[in-house]
Amino acid sequence: MRPFFRSPLTRRTRYGRAIYPTFRNMSTPPTTEVLYALTVAKSPARRSPEDVLEKSHHGKNGFRNPWESFRDMDSKDIMQMMITRRLKGKANNPDTTPPTVTVRQPEFLPSRDTPKLRATWLGHACYYVEFPSGLRVLFDPVFEARCGPCCGPYHLGPKRYTEPPCQIKDIPVIDAVVISHNHYDHLSYPTVSEIAKRHPNCHFFAPLGNKSWFHSSGIKNVTEMDWWDERDIAMSPKEGKDPQVEPVGEASTTADVKARISCLPCQHVTARSPFDKYKTLWASWAIESGGSKVYFAGDSGYRAVDELPEGEDDWDPKYNFPICPAFEQVGEFRGPFDLGLIPIGAYAPRHIFSAAHSDPHDAVHIFKDTKCKKALGMHWGTWVLTEEDVLEPPKKLKEALKKHDLAETGVFDVCDIGESREF
């Protein structure tokens, strides 16, 4: 059955695919022209790993990584180790003098009529994904110069060495924003506030424990989810310019745009202050819409590596550090994926950062475990968070692909900031 209300702006091809009005040459922001009522509903239960009901990642006072592959480190200890390395002259100070990563102006599709899955890297962990269904999703958007807390007039945290390729106002449509966790390089108050203002129908998805932060930021249309939770998204065009947010309710089976979003595990930590470590959950995400499946790995480690002699290969079989088993489960129960967005940066030195951040070698393992057919790298090229040289991640990625007998290009690529790839 077709929806009772059909926008006069929407036509269909003879194969039934919706032809949406184009946004080209529109003088006003396009989302005020065509509004979509978005509903979010619980998905029917799907096959999940047997241990899911144990909720072993729920701790007494927050959340935990329930695997041997993780090693907890106090942020004070991390800081101290980094300072000691600096004082001993062991630390590498990455050179950010231009040119580093190429930044280009992104070109977004002029309408929701999308022949293929399309992903545009907007720097660090931010990807804009255009699904063939017409759905438009922004992952981990942060558009500020610094990623850190605002203390009065001061914005703390590292400063970008590459510019954002566009501003929020340049993105024509944002239906959903998906947040991996609450670290400042993934969740920014000024960014999400501006998105909510410009796109009042936009729905925000975040892992457990983040809802109150969104509510106190004035954002009501948020769904927080636990690992292996799923929701069905349905969108139908609605008439008028009233940016009223639809209440969350039952997903329509006859909607023009449908999607399923899955909150999935990964290995990380969370905190926005010295007092809230592990209080909110971290997650990777999968979205299936219009016949395409995307896996967003968020920010994740794969193994915890000991301090090894300089130049030693931590993947040498003699070490055998335990790996995070969650990614194989993601692949088995939710894969395969047409596209994986996988972190490759912020990894050095390994004995300090490996538990929470994968390096390119770990990233290729994540790519294989989760059964991604293609992947693009992220979590690099924007802020200096760790000691590796800023252009090292793509070089190491090529080495890792070679080691796994995968083609060095066309399988797991890196792109320019602002560049779009089709799949």
Residue 246-285 contact track with Zn ion, rule CB under 5 A, x = bound: ----------------------------------------
**With contacts defined by CB under 5 A, how many residues of the chain interact with Zn ion?**
2
Residue 357 binding Zn ion, by CB under 5 A:
no
Q: How many residues does the chain have?
A: 423
The nearer residue to Zn ion, 183 or 231, going by C-beta atoms, is 183
- The residues with which 203 forms a beta bridge, in sequence order, are 176
The structure tokens listed for 397 are 């990625």
Tell me the closest approach of the beta carbon of residue 298 to Zn ion, in angstroms.
8
The nearer residue to Zn ion, 185 or 288, going by C-beta atoms, is 185
Q: Is 36 annotated as a binding residue?
A: no
Q: Is 184 annotated as a binding residue?
A: yes
Residue 183 binding Zn ion, by CB under 5 A:
yes
* Residues in Cβ contact with 277 at an 8 Å cutoff, skipping those fewer than 6 apart: 62, 75, 269, 270, 271
The nearer residue to Zn ion, 130 or 299, going by C-beta atoms, is 299
Residue 299 binding Zn ion, by CB under 5 A:
yes
Tell me the closest approach of the beta carbon of residue 242 to Zn ion, in angstroms.
37
154 neighbors 161 (Cβ within 8 angstroms) = no
Tell me the closest approach of the beta carbon of residue 169 to Zn ion, in angstroms.
27
243 neighbors 308 (Cβ within 8 angstroms) = no
Stretch that binds Zn ion, among 67-75, 176-184, 201-209, 319-327 (CB under 5 A): 176-184
The nearer residue to Zn ion, 231 or 379, going by C-beta atoms, is 379
The interface with Zn ion within residues 188-207 (CB under 5 A) comprises none
Q: From its phi and psi, is residue 405 left (phi > 0), alpha (psi between -120 and 50) or beta? A: left
The nearer residue to Zn ion, 106 or 301, going by C-beta atoms, is 301
Residue 98-137 contact track with Zn ion, rule CB under 5 A, x = bound: ----------------------------------------
Tell me the closest approach of the beta carbon of residue 299 to Zn ion, in angstroms.
4
Tell me the closest approach of the beta carbon of residue 148 to Zn ion, in angstroms.
12
Q: CB under 8 Å, gap of 24 or more: what pairs does 65-68 form?
A: 65/267, 65/268, 65/269, 65/324, 67/267, 67/322, 67/324, 67/325, 67/326, 68/322
Distance of CA 245 to the CA centre of its chain: 24
The nearer residue to Zn ion, 299 or 359, going by C-beta atoms, is 299
In whole angstroms, what is the distance from residue 183 CA to residue 203 CA? 20
The nearer residue to Zn ion, 143 or 184, going by C-beta atoms, is 184
Tell me the closest approach of the beta carbon of residue 284 to Zn ion, in angstroms.
12
Stretch that binds Zn ion, among 39-47, 183-191, 226-234, 406-414 (CB under 5 A): 183-191
Tell me the closest approach of the beta carbon of residue 345 to Zn ion, in angstroms.
12
Stretch that binds Zn ion, among 161-169, 210-218, 297-305, 400-408 (CB under 5 A): 297-305
Residues in the site for Zn ion, rule: CB under 5 A?
Answer: 183, 299
Residue ranges of the binding site: 184, 357
